[in-house]
């Protein structure tokens, strides 16, 4: 469970971010989506934040960059 950074209330997670402009791509493979952005919203103050549920592909990319 995520906690709101502003008011410390619990946040509702797993909202889908629906915009064609928002996706995380590998900087070398622009057309390849490597992670889906999701959104959590605080039910008290409305603060929302985006996060990545599955970071496995991002970890692989990070490890490859460390090696090179
Ligand atoms: Zn809040």
**Where are the domains positioned within the chain?**
11-67
Q: What is the Å distance from ligand 1's center to 2 Cα? A: 11
Backbone angles phi, psi at 36, to 5 degrees: -100, 130
In this prediction, residue 53 has a pLDDT band, given cuts at 50, 70 and 90, of confident
Q: What is the Å distance from ligand 1's center to 55 Cα? A: 25
Closest CA to 47 of 5, 18, 2: 5
pTM over 0.85: no
Q: What is the Å distance from ligand 1's center to 31 Cα? A: 35
Q: What is the Å distance from ligand 1's center to 21 Cα? A: 26
pLDDT digits (tens, 9 = 90+) for 5-43: 999 999 999 988 776 545 566 666 556 677 888 899 999
């Amino acid at each position: 469970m995520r906690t709101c950074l502003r008011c410390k209330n619990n946040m509702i997670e797993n909202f889908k971010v629906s915009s064609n402009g928002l996706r995380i791509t590998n900087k070398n493979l622009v057309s390849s989506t490597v992670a889906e952005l999701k959104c959590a919203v605080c039910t008290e103050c409305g603060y929302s934040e985006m996060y990545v549920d599955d970071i496995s592909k991002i970890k692989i990319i990070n490890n490859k960059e460390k090696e090179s």
